[in-house]
Structure 1
């Protein structure tokens, strides 16, 4: 999602600020070498706060345009279209070197890797080539950026189940790409959006076609990959789908939405995270080719359409045009936000398993299910609970974006509040000492009522959101 305030002169609109929370021991929070602890509730990022005050992000009053989280790294686009990165760089996810980097004013001396990973720094090579970024996406160790002309730059590396897979699969190429690089197959393509799973990428072209590449061991690329030739999956291929308007991804599963509002899913389905019906192949642990999720057809949504999809390791969130949120997949850690699942379904989702069978099975919900949110806060009731009974249609508190982490989630409401739920034992829920939230719960933090939340990101162990002063 682009900055909704972009195009308005900086002096006439508030800058977007960055808030962070979660685990920071691997530099995910970008606060420097002395700030690696967990942050239990959302906290204004002091480095970017100072950068905004000093006009370093695009002049006086300029802030952040876009931000995203990877597994353990973060990417931010400022109002000049420059990308800042921080976090773990073991597999080149930051787009810049963090080892053996000389200090310009001290001949023979080098920056400490910890310093270069724990604080925001520019991806300078993109600045040097005049790449004006408009959006970014990130997986565990892969990062992708899209510029104003629809061109892509990629960096990092992909992993498979047995270790490092590589970057582009070409003979003689390095397995890790430390600086952003174009992809040769895309010389004639222009793109409009991106999505990343743990180790795969989807890129949508201006003419509605979807390219996919990365690790394909769980069919997340929408095609069969021969194990002995799994590096072939690093070469992008185009799906047969046409007239696609949006793409989304979970860790190992993928989605596309076409112009008619039809949702297609493929990839890992071990916890029914694709939402594909049993009669369409949804009883299988892997969906090998794009298959329609018929439960989310506009005919089943009162004519509304799914407009955004975000998945975690074994669950998925679907945002509908009227602000409703549906969820499916794993639910034993409250990933779906629908409260405790009283009865566990069998593989076909058609009967309750015996207690003996349940003892070694996990709970899941196979059919996309409507998630209930608390009402919009009011001066009289700033922290209302989720109402009893079935969720309302249309929703009482419409959502503007959803963001799935590994086992936790964030949702931003149209009213400018952020909610979290699921499981997070490293403070990634942003709810203080709470490690579980059965249902969407509004985040409370210092001076929180003074901020309007615009967008968010859920990483593996950390989360972010962008907000403007009210």
Structure 2
């Protein structure tokens, strides 16, 4: 559930006097010669130099001084596939697709996505420009944007953030994003045994947030991870902060008596991010349904939360209990592996080591461990036999199922599959890793997989999207008529003032029935993630319709080029001299399996007055121009 990998920042060593400014040079994590034990000299700091002598002060550190940098977003761009239950739009495949047992392309997201996570009943994606897109259930604000119906909820829409995002996370009913400024923003709500807790404290109660709110930890954040109903944040200094539901110990900083909304401090102890006490700073964080994992700076795996099936890898007398404070995971230590990722489901966990081997521990029902038919649970980390000769690069754990992606490009899944979320083409359970069914990927390599409550999302690299320039738009028609599982269209949309309908808040629709007055209002510039460029991966390729001629005649201010538009003219023919093709995001339409519906769009020309905007913090004057607003039809209506 939105389990975040480790911070991709660079580890730095610093003295006490320089920790606040983080001005020291980058250090490799494995080179820790200065990280000695308690009370030992660990760093020589040159305090001052005078004419007479060089004064050297030896700083005695209680613990290693670690400084992490804000990570950059993943570089590889690609497309998203989804499978499973989509009754509330969490698949993003259109209103006609409410479930599918095979992975299908979410064409509305385009081909510039760099990260994606599945929440309980929603999905969050990050594109290469730092924009965050969401779709699915919005009952408690998990989408972070206003929606007026199921059509808008099921269509990807942008979340307004003050700066580009570099990391994202999703829980049961909440989402979060780490910005390139080191700030964390979250939206939605947490839940406990009493129902919704809200997200932040307002007055004496917890209130859900339908728009992003700043989560202040008092220092720079470098990583985030979402459990089912809690959020974990890693700071630049290695501090681990938690907030949300703590009933199963998943916050790691409250006693069992204090971890309830009924306690004396109430919501203020739960919904205000606070620091977990650790002997050594954190290096990596992961979160599961009711648990949190931290790999500390001494390479020890720590965990806290629900351990009723031993899923935390904490054995002995603490097995089958809830653990409310950081505890070393002895099952991880005994393997003597270098751990690179942990995925935690409701009652089981997966672990990935540096060699690409996957281990499982915890409850065995429904085959979620991938260890075959067996009666007993796994009390220690056991390697999954079917994956021992493969190198795995990504793992995920759903409620009662598991997933893996190998470096050879294969996608496998196992465990409960009653909702088709395994993507195997059936709704059966699988006791061992089973190949998922995907469209012909050709050169598209699977990169990352994430499991939600009843659906799964997969990110595949698209080599053509890595290019700076897109193919000419003339190739669009021929590509769209290609093979139904590998057709690809990359249309360059260089007009900076052009805004696709589905990018705007509150106007996403699968129909093209907008009135001119409504379109004029929708065409106003908005600041989305600190970037007001109109090209986004959300655009859907469209061509002009005969109605364009009638509307051209009604608009007296159109240029000569626009007045001579024909039914066959592409939207790019109306671009202005100040277009910026070098910043264009391309979009693609995929046809999958056997069913693809198309809808003729209407095109409305809107006169925009000169308006001063701000693009990524830089003032920019947008000259008066005519804008073609193309209401986007639902691009994919394939059924399972």
Length-normalised TM-score, structure 1: 0.78
1:147 & 1:261 partners in 2: Cα distance? 27
The answer on 1:205 being equivalent to 2:235 is yes
**Counterparts of 1:336-347 in structure 2 under 5 Å?**
336-342=369-375, 344=376
Q: Contact between 1:410 and 1:456, CA under 8 Å: does it hold in 2? A: yes
The answer on 1:25 being equivalent to 2:83 is no
Q: Contact between 1:333 and 1:436, CA under 8 Å: does it hold in 2? A: yes
| Partner secondary structure for residue 381 of structure 2 | strand
| Partner secondary structure for residue 444 of structure 1 | coil
Q: Report deviation, 1:77.
A: 0.8
- 1:101-126 deviation digits (Å, cap 9, x = unpaired): xxxxxxxxxxxx11210110111x21
**Counterparts of 1:233-248 in structure 2 under 5 Å?**
233-241=270-278, 242-248=280-286
Q: Report deviation, 1:34.
A: 2.8
1:330 & 1:449 partners in 2: Cα distance? 37
| Partner secondary structure for residue 373 of structure 1 | helix
- 1:357-414 deviation digits (Å, cap 9, x = unpaired): xxxxxxx22212111235xxxxxxxxxxxxxxxxxxxx42111121111111111112
Q: Report deviation, 1:149.
A: 2.0
| Partner secondary structure for residue 312 of structure 2 | coil
2:107 & 2:259 partners in 1: Cα distance? 48
1:174 & 1:212 partners in 2: Cα distance? 16
Q: Report deviation, 1:436.
A: 0.9
The answer on 1:301 being equivalent to 2:322 is no
2:401 to 390, 401, 408: 408
**Counterparts of 1:17-166 in structure 2 under 5 Å?**
17-36=79-98, 38-48=99-109, 51-52=110-111, 63-99=112-148, 113-123=149-159, 125-126=160-161, 129=162, 131-166=163-198
| 1:144–1:7 distance in 2 versus 1, CA, 3 Å | closer
2:84 & 2:303 partners in 1: Cα distance? 30
Q: Report deviation, 1:23.
A: 0.7
1:93 & 1:220 partners in 2: Cα distance? 21
Residue 276 of structure 1 corresponds to: 314
1:323 & 1:146 partners in 2: Cα distance? 27
Q: Report deviation, 1:174.
A: 6.1
1:424 & 1:150 partners in 2: Cα distance? 38
1:98 & 1:212 partners in 2: Cα distance? 29
| Partner secondary structure for residue 309 of structure 1 | strand
1:15 & 1:265 partners in 2: Cα distance? 33
Residue 59 of structure 1 corresponds to: none
The answer on 1:170 being equivalent to 2:179 is no
- 1:340-371 deviation digits (Å, cap 9, x = unpaired): 223x3xxxxxxxxxxxxxxxxxxx22212111
Structure 2 unaligned regions, length at least 5: 9-70, 464-640
Q: Contact between 1:250 and 1:314, CA under 8 Å: does it hold in 2? A: no
Q: Report deviation, 1:95.
A: 0.5
Q: Contact between 1:250 and 1:315, CA under 8 Å: does it hold in 2? A: no
2:238 & 2:87 partners in 1: Cα distance? 40
| Partner secondary structure for residue 368 of structure 1 | strand
Residue 300 of structure 2 corresponds to: 262
Question: After alignment, is 328-337 or 220-229 more displaced?
Answer: 220-229
Q: Contact between 1:338 and 1:438, CA under 8 Å: does it hold in 2? A: yes
2:360 to 327, 332, 351: 327
1:369 to 358, 376, 382: 382
Residue 223 of structure 2 corresponds to: 193
Q: Contact between 2:88 and 2:150, CA under 8 Å: does it hold in 1? A: no
| Aligned length in residues | 388
2:420 & 2:413 partners in 1: Cα distance? 11
1:419 & 1:91 partners in 2: Cα distance? 32
The answer on 1:452 being equivalent to 2:465 is no
| 1:226–1:211 distance in 2 versus 1, CA, 3 Å | closer
1:429 & 1:296 partners in 2: Cα distance? 27
Q: Contact between 1:257 and 1:307, CA under 8 Å: does it hold in 2? A: no
Q: Contact between 1:24 and 1:35, CA under 8 Å: does it hold in 2? A: yes
Structure 1 unaligned regions, length at least 5: 9-13, 53-62, 100-112, 345-363, 375-394
Q: Report deviation, 1:215.
A: 0.4
Higher Cα radius of gyration: 2
The answer on 1:421 being equivalent to 2:414 is yes
Q: Contact between 2:312 and 2:349, CA under 8 Å: does it hold in 1? A: yes
| 1:181–1:73 distance in 2 versus 1, CA, 3 Å | same
Q: Contact between 1:323 and 1:398, CA under 8 Å: does it hold in 2? A: yes
| 1:432–1:5 distance in 2 versus 1, CA, 3 Å | farther
Residue 215 of structure 1 corresponds to: 245
Q: Contact between 1:64 and 1:78, CA under 8 Å: does it hold in 2? A: yes
Q: Contact between 2:228 and 2:289, CA under 8 Å: does it hold in 1? A: yes
| 1:448–1:436 distance in 2 versus 1, CA, 3 Å | farther
Q: Contact between 2:197 and 2:208, CA under 8 Å: does it hold in 1? A: no
- 1:207-259 deviation digits (Å, cap 9, x = unpaired): 11110110001111112235312422111111112321111122111111112
1:217 & 1:295 partners in 2: Cα distance? 24
Q: Which runs of 4+ in 1 moved over 4 A?
A: 1-8
| 1:5–1:139 distance in 2 versus 1, CA, 3 Å | closer
| Partner secondary structure for residue 255 of structure 1 | strand
| 1:340–1:94 distance in 2 versus 1, CA, 3 Å | same
2:74 & 2:340 partners in 1: Cα distance? 24
2:259 & 2:79 partners in 1: Cα distance? 45
1:431 & 1:17 partners in 2: Cα distance? 19
| Partner secondary structure for residue 115 of structure 1 | helix
Q: Contact between 2:72 and 2:166, CA under 8 Å: does it hold in 1? A: no
